[in-house]
Amino acid sequence: MIFFKNTYTNLRNWVQDTYAFTRAEQRAVVGLCLLAIIGLLLNVWLHTCNVQSTMPKLNISYEAIDTSYYKNHKNNYTHNYTNSYDQDQDATPTTVLAPMDTFNPNTANDDFWLKQAGISPRQLGTLRKFQLRGAMFYAEKDVQKCYAINEKTFARIQSFIRLPKKEYKVFAASYTPTTYETKTYRKTEINQADTTELIALPGIGRTLANRIVKYRDRLGGFVNTQQLLEVYGLDSSKYNLMINRITLDTYFVSGLLINDISAAELKQHPYFDYNTARIIIMYRNAHGRFKNSAELKNTDVISDELFSKIAPYIRI
């Protein structure tokens, strides 16, 4: 164990003595590294500049453009182009342009575009590719938007553009309007209708039909159609759906024999609660039989609004 410890100590001291640097030596090493890096970067930059300066210009042959004019006249219109797009767009033939004639840009041939419109062969190639995709010019603004036509060219040709007006065919009426027979419905008399007849009405299901019949029986019959809105679950929307399909006959309405009825029987009517029925019977017992229905107001429990509702049911 002591042997290994001494060996490790001796080895560590040897490494420190052999590879230790003074502060001055450390600065010198750092400086040399920086100079090496700067030299490497400078060499790369000089190599790049040399490659760009010796790059040859791009020679474009119009054999690649599939138009008949380029194939027949490529020797007359061969130019050297750089890889600058702006120079290509503004390039124009050196020949003198022929006088302009009116033209349809959808049907104009290559000779027109090159010799009269004055666009470059490169622009013409772009235009033909645009048209080969099925594009059409319908208005002057469409020509202006074309990628192959720059502002200078459009200003020169704008006044000569002639596009046919779009024609719309007028088709005469060749059919006779279909007439539909108005369907008529037999109206339902709600004071005699059973649940089956009520279910046939729009908006009325089995549950609502049963409620209508039960409420009608408690009333003794409906005296106006507005009373249907008093049925639980029958709102104005359902009422409006069925109103044109119903009729009302008050002949079948049964009345309340007010001079013979008991308080227990009277409170069964939807318009009377137990307290109102009890007071009416007490008043009748104290003052004698009612001579007319208006006397019910003397009980002080019958308001004008309530009286208007119960009056059709009162029988003296």
Q: Where are the domains of the chain?
A: 85-175, 191-252, 256-315
Model pLDDT, residue 305: 93
Low-confidence winner among 64-68, 220-224, 234-238 (lowest mean pLDDT) = 64-68
pLDDT > 70: what percent of the chain? 71
**pLDDT, mean of residues 140-157:** 78
Asked, colleague to colleague, whether 191-252 and 256-315 share their fold, the answer is yes
Q: Which residues are bridge partners to 59 per DSSP? A: 80
More confident residue, 257 or 84: 257
For residue 219, CA distances in Å to 63, 81, 170, 253 come to: 101, 102, 66, 8
Burial status of residue 142 (CB atoms within 10 A of its CB: 0-12, 13-18, 19 or more) = middle
Low-confidence winner among 75-79, 136-140, 150-154 (lowest mean pLDDT) = 75-79
Tally helices (H) and strands (E) across the chain: 14, 4
pLDDT band at residue 59, thresholds of 50, 70 and 90? very low
Model pLDDT, residue 10: 66
* Secondary structure class of 258 (helix, strand, coil): coil
Phi-psi region of 240 (alpha: psi -120 to 50; beta: other; left: phi over 0): alpha
Cβ(118)–Cβ(92) below 8 Å: yes
The listed range with the strongest mean pLDDT (71-85, 99-113, 161-175, 255-269) is 255-269
The 10s digit of each residue's pLDDT in 227-275 is 999 999 999 999 999 999 999 999 889 999 999 999 999 999 999 999 9
pLDDT band at residue 159, thresholds of 50, 70 and 90? confident
Q: How far is the C-alpha of 87 from the C-alpha of 114, rounded, in Å? A: 17
**At a CB cut-off of 8 Å and minimum separation 6, what does 186 contact?**
none
Nearest partner of 219 among 250, 195, 246, judged by Cα: 250
- Asked if the 191-252 domain carries CATH number 1.20.140.10, the reply is no
Domain 256-315, architecture per CATH: Orthogonal Bundle (1.10)
pLDDT band at residue 114, thresholds of 50, 70 and 90? confident
Secondary structure letter of residue 189 according to DSSP: E
Model pLDDT, residue 130: 77
Judge if pTM exceeds 0.95. Answer: no
Nearest partner of 262 among 248, 252, 251, 272, judged by Cα: 272
Q: How far is the C-alpha of 13 from the C-alpha of 5, rounded, in Å? A: 13
Does the pLDDT value for residue 74 go beyond 50? no
**pLDDT, mean of residues 82-95:** 45
